C-alpha cells in the first residue's frame, strides 16, 4: 500500500523532494564530522531517481573562484528556456557571492529569474526546456556546473537544500508528513526505523509542530504549518546552504513573521548560509546581510544591505523603494514603477530597464550590455550613470 502511494507522485516532484532532504544524522553539532561520514554512507541510488535527463548544459569550466572565503560564488550565470520555438532569456549573466553564515536576498518582480537562479544552483532545472548556457556556481570552492551528476547527488541534500516556492505542491497529499520526512531521513542515513522516526519527530518539533501530528496528512495542516513541514524537510539534511524561494509569500502576515523568525533562528543556530528569494523589501531589511536586485535576469544593483537601503543608486532600486508606503509621509501618493518588465523572449538592446526608466537616454539602448560599476566597496550598480553626479 505504501509503495502504491509513493508511485502516485510525479517523478519530478519525487526527485525534487528527495534532493532537498537530508542525510546527516545530527543537526547543528559536529556537522563537518557527520558530513564526512554521511558522504560515505549515502545511498546514492535513492538520490539518483529522476536525474538521468539533467546535465550541466554547455558551460565550459573557464571560471575561477575569485575569493576562497566565499561559500557560494555565482559567476556570469546564463540560463535559457526553449518554448514554442522561442528562446526565453531567463537569466542573463548574473553574479553574486555569499560567505558562510550570511544571508543574501534576491529581490525582483515576477518573472525576473529568481527561481531559475536557485534551481540552476541546485542543478535541478529540467533540460529540456532549460539550458545553462554559461557561468559557474562555486559552492565550497567547487564549480557545481562542472560536477559529474554522481557527485552532485552527494552535494544536494548534504550541502544544499531548497525550500520550494509553493508548499502545496512540495508535499505529497497521499503520505503523512512524518512518512515524507522519514522517507528522506532513511534514504540518506543508515537509521533504523525507530531512529528515523525519532529524527523526524525532532525535526517537526524544531519547526514548532508537535510530534503527535507526524501521522497526519498535508490536508490536515494549515498553510503556515505546511510551510513549516516543508522547512523541516529542507533542514532535515542540515544543509550548509539553504535556498529559500519565497518561503512566506503564501502565508498571512502573522504566520509570515513566525516562519521568518523560525528560519532566522535556525540559520543562526546552524550557521547556515542562505539565499532568500522574496518580493518583500521589508523581509530583506530584517533578514539579509546582502542584497541583489534582479531585473530581467540581471543584477541591477548589489551590495551590503545598508548600502542598498541607505544609498540606492540604480533607478530600478529607487523605483522599488519609491513604490513602498512610508509611515512618516502621508502627503505623497505612492509612485509605482510604470510599465511592465520586458518580454524575456525579446529583450531590449542595452539596458533592459530603459523602457521604464525615467533617466533613460539614447545611449542606454545602444550598448550591447551596460557595464557594472563599483560605486563603493562591494556595492555594484549596472547603469550608465552609476557613480556619476545625479545618477
Site for ligand ATP in 113-132 (CB under 6 A): 113-116, 129
C-alpha cell at 278: 522574496
3-class secondary structure per residue, 207-237: CCCCHHHHHCCHHHCCHHHHHHHHHHHHHCC
User: Considering only CA atoms, which of 349, 352, 356 is closest in space to residue 383?
Assistant: 352
Q: What is the smallest separation between the CB atom of 89 and ligand ATP, expressed in angstroms?
A: 8
Looking at 18-26, 53-61, 82-90, 348-356, which segment touches ligand ATP (CB under 6 A)? 82-90
Give residues in contact with ligand SF4 (CB under 6 A). 315, 351, 353-354, 357, 359-360, 364, 370, 383-385
Query: Which one, 124 or 236, has the nearer CB to ligand ATP?
Result: 124
For 363, which DSSP code?
G
- Which of 94, 112, 351, 386 touches ligand ATP by CB under 6 A? 112
Distance, CA of 163 to chain centre: 8
Q: What is the smallest separation between the CB atom of 17 and Mg ion, expressed in angstroms?
A: 18
- Which of 81, 164, 221, 295 touches ligand ATP by CB under 6 A? 81
76: left (phi over 0), alpha (psi -120 to 50) or beta: left
C-alpha cell at 383: 547603469
Q: What is the smallest separation between the CB atom of 299 and ligand ATP, expressed in angstroms?
A: 13
Residue 205-244 contact track with ligand ATP, rule CB under 6 A, x = bound = ----------------------------------------
Binding-residue total with Mg ion (CB under 5 A): 1
Query: Which one, 62 or 388, has the nearer CB to ligand SF4?
Result: 388
User: Helical H runs in 21-148?
Assistant: 31-41, 44-48, 114-122
Distance, CA of 27 to chain centre: 21
Antiparallel, parallel or unpaired: β 86-99 and 70-83:
antiparallel
Site for ligand ATP, rule CB under 6 A: 81, 83, 88, 90, 108, 110-116, 129, 165, 344
Amino acid at each position: 500500500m505504501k509503495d502504491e502511494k509513493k508511485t502516485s507522485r510525479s517523478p519530478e516532484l519525487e526527485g525534487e523532494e528527495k534532493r532537498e532532504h537530508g542525510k546527516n544524522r545530527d543537526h547543528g553539532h559536529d556537522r563537518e564530522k557527520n558530513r564526512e561520514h554521511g558522504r560515505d554512507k549515502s545511498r546514492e541510488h535513492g538520490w539518483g531517481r529522476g536525474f538521468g535527463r539533467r546535465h550541466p548544459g554547455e558551460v565550459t569550466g573557464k571560471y575561477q573562484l575569485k575569493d576562497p572565503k566565499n561559500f557560494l560564488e555565482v559567476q556570469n550565470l546564463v540560463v535559457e528556456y526553449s518554448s514554442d520555438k522561442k528562446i526565453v532569456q531567463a537569466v542573463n549573466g548574473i553574479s553574486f557571492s555569499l560567505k558562510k553564515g550570511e544571508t543574501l536576498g534576491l529581490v525582483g518582480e515576477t518573472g525576473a529569474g529568481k527561481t531559475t537562479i536557485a534551481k540552476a544552483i541546485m542543478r535541478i532545472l529540467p533540460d529540456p526546456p532549460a539550458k545553462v548556457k554559461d557561468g559557474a556556481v562555486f559552492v565550497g570552492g567547487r564549480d557545481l556546473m562542472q560536477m559529474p551528476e554522481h557527485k552532485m547527488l552527494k552535494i544536494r541534500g548534504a550541502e544544499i537544500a531548497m525550500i520550494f516556492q509553493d508548499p502545496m505542491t512540495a508535499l505529497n497529499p497521499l503520505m503523512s508528513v512524518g512518512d515524507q520526512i522519514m522517507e528522506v531521513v532513511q534514504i540518506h542515513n543508515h537509521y533504523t526505523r525507530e531512529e528515523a522516526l525519532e529524527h523526524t519527530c525532532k525535526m517537526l518539533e524544531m519547526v514548532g509542530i508537535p510530534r503527535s501530528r507526524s501521522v497526519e496528512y498535508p490536508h490536515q495542516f494549515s498553510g503556515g504549518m505546511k510551510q513549516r513541514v516543508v522547512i523541516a524537510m529542507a533542514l532535515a539534511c542540515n544543509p550548509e546552504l539553504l535556498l529559500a524561494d519565497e518561503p512566506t509569500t503564501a502565508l498571512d502576515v502573522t504566520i509570515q513573521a513566525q516562519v521568518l523568525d523560525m528560519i532566522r533562528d535556525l540559520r543562526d543556530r546552524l550557521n547556515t548560509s542562505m539565499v532568500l528569494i522574496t518580493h518583500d523589501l521589508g523581509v530583506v531589511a530584517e533578514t539579509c546581510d546582502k542584497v541583489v536586485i534582479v531585473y530581467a535576469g540581471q543584477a541591477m544593483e548589489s551590495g551590503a544591505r545598508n548600502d542598498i537601503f541607505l544609498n540606492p543608486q540604480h533607478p530600478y532600486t529607487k523605483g522599488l523603494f519609491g513604490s513602498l508606503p512610508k509611515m512618516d509621509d502621508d502627503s505623497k501618493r505612492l509612485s509605482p514603477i510604470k510599465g511592465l518588465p520586458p518580454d524575456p523572449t525579446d529583450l531590449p538592446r542595452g539596458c533592459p530597464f530603459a523602457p521604464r526608466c525615467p533617466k533613460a537616454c539614447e545611449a542606454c539602448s545602444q550598448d550591447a550590455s551596460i557595464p557594472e560599476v563599483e560605486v563603493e566597496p562591494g556595492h555594484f550598480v549596472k547603469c550608465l550613470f552609476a557613480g556619476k553626479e545625479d545618477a
